[in-house]
Amino acid sequence: MELEVDTDVQAPDALAILVAVLLMDFGRTIWAVSAPGTWLIPVLTIYIWVTAIGLIVVGLSTIDLQEHGWAIAAIVTGAIGSTVLIAMISLYGQPVTTDVGQFLHEATALTVSGQNPYQHELGLNRTAFPTPTMDGGTVSRYSYPAGAIVAMAPQYAAGFEDVRLTPTILSLGVGVVTLAAADSEFALFAPAMLLAGDLVTWPLNGLTDTIWIFALCLAAYWWEDRLVWSAIAYGFAASVEQIPWFIGPFLLVWLLRDRGKPSAVKWLAGGLATFGLVNLPFIIWGPEAWLIGALQPLFGSGSPPVHQGVGLSALTVFGMFPIAKWAQTALVALVAVVALVVYYRRSELQWAGWVAWMPILLIHYRSFATYFVAGLPLVAIAFFERRSEHAT
């Protein structure tokens, strides 16, 4: 096949070089986890570095990325995905060190064995990365809605009891959905968003966020043409993690303003029904225990976690200007209301609604960097959908 020549240096060429840089960092990360005597990880490292160098050549050449960008992005995404999947297989069965991974592992195992995970202390054998609470203890209860447990249950019921497996597969799903939304010219945004902040390797380290990220990416991808499916995907994302709760009001405002009340009601009903169906067995099983677990990260049921994060809470963490939890909670409410009013009045912000949690959680007393990196695939999908909208 003869490649079309692009005689101009354009933004896609610069993007190709930027993704190559991110790939090199990814290759360095994979190389760093290699153990002496193993051959698989070094081979993967070579694979990634060859891909990165090839992408630099593409960026410096006259290959027309408006014509061939999607195919090149698919090759890069495939290289990333296959590397992560093989790395996960090589780590299969090894313990995770994050409390969220350990909690989900134990909660799913308890559920499959017929025990209510919300009524048990979890993570008692963990050795690293506990979540300290303000009374000097650590978080020892499952503190999310039940969606992730439901997503993991089939895997555990089948006998595959490694908490990395489903999140790793869904991290690849995030790449596929982002790529499906992409236009050829800027398709390399898809692998870029997987690589930024090491998002695609999170499951290898015991982080499970890709479960809700994948569902939310589907919700954004289906937003324009499949509103009911978008609502179902959003409802599932909200049943996994509390972060999607913050964007629901913004998306409802968008629907009410631009598509009318029937569309808003349909989307809201679909989302609530999905959330309810996923969580209903656990609510019936133990309503008080479920409610405490589902609301703990937001309202600190029991002894709340300590301040931590990259936003306003950094002033407290580093001892510069301690801010009371109640004050930051009040600021979160204020910022959320102001943001919603601005969003309602400025229709040009509509696609930013998909990541509306970012300015809000920057004020929250818990504002980990992962909360913001998690939104990067959604940024790419919103970017592609906005471009598609303007092209029609």
Give pLDDT tens digits for 150-160: 999 999 999 99
- pLDDT(1) > 50: no
Here the tokens at position 316 are 């407290």
CA-to-CA distance for 121 and 198, rounded, in angstroms? 30
Q: Give me the pLDDT at residue 6, please.
A: 52
Please write the tens of the pLDDT for every residue from 181-193.
999 888 999 999 9
Question: Average pLDDT in the 321-328 region?
Answer: 76
CA-to-CA distance for 151 and 348, rounded, in angstroms? 35
- pLDDT(62) > 90: no
* Backbone φ/ψ region at 321: left (φ over 0), alpha (ψ -120 to 50), beta: beta
| Neighbouring C-beta atoms of residue 113, cutoff 10 Å | 9
pLDDT band at 7 (very low <50, low <70, confident <90, very high): very low
User: Do residues 377 and 194 lie in contact, with contact meaning Cβ atoms separated by under 8 Å?
Assistant: yes
Residue 1: alpha-carbon gap to chain centroid: 37
Domain ranges of the chain: 1-94, 95-391
- Phi, psi values for residue 119, rounded to 5°: -105, 15
Three-class secondary structure of residue 305 per DSSP: strand
**Pairing assessment for the beta strands 366-367 and 308-309 based on DSSP bridges:** parallel
Question: Average pLDDT in the 64-70 region?
Answer: 87
Q: Give me the pLDDT at residue 36, please.
A: 57
Distances (CA, A) of 184 to 195, 209, 298, 367, 380: 19, 28, 40, 34, 13
Please write the tens of the pLDDT for every residue from 195-204.
988 899 899 8
Give the amino acid at 281.
P
pLDDT band at 296 (very low <50, low <70, confident <90, very high): confident
User: Do residues 56 and 17 lie in contact, with contact meaning Cβ atoms separated by under 8 Å?
Assistant: yes
CA-to-CA distance for 157 and 169, rounded, in angstroms? 17
Q: Which residues contact 109 (CB under 8 A, 6 or more apart)?
A: 156, 161
Read off the pTM.
Answer: 0.89
User: Do residues 169 and 212 lie in contact, with contact meaning Cβ atoms separated by under 8 Å?
Assistant: no
| Neighbouring C-beta atoms of residue 143, cutoff 10 Å | 24
Whose tokens are 């029937």? That residue is 262
Q: Mean pLDDT score of the chain, rounded to an integer?
A: 86
Question: Average pLDDT in the 43-63 region?
Answer: 90
Question: Average pLDDT in the 13-22 region?
Answer: 92
* DSSP state string for 46-89: HHHHHHHHHHHHHHHS-B-HHHHHHHHHHHHHHHHHHHHHHHHH
Question: Average pLDDT in the 347-358 region?
Answer: 92
User: Do residues 371 and 197 lie in contact, with contact meaning Cβ atoms separated by under 8 Å?
Assistant: no
CA-to-CA distance for 302 and 123, rounded, in angstroms? 17
Q: Give me the pLDDT at residue 115, please.
A: 94
Whose tokens are 């998306």? That residue is 251
Here the tokens at position 381 are 């999908």
Q: Give me the pLDDT at residue 317, please.
A: 67
Helix-helix angle 165-181:147-157, to 10 degrees: 120
Q: How many CA atoms lie within 13 A of 346 on its CB side?
A: 11
Q: Which residues contact 299 (CB under 8 A, 6 or more apart)?
A: none
Q: Which DSSP letter does residue 137 get?
A: -
pLDDT band at 130 (very low <50, low <70, confident <90, very high): low
Q: Give me the pLDDT at residue 67, please.
A: 87
Question: Average pLDDT in the 385-390 region?
Answer: 79
Three-class secondary structure of residue 98 per DSSP: coil
- pLDDT(265) > 70: yes
Q: Which residues contact 237 (CB under 8 A, 6 or more apart)?
A: 147, 212, 213, 215, 216, 219, 244
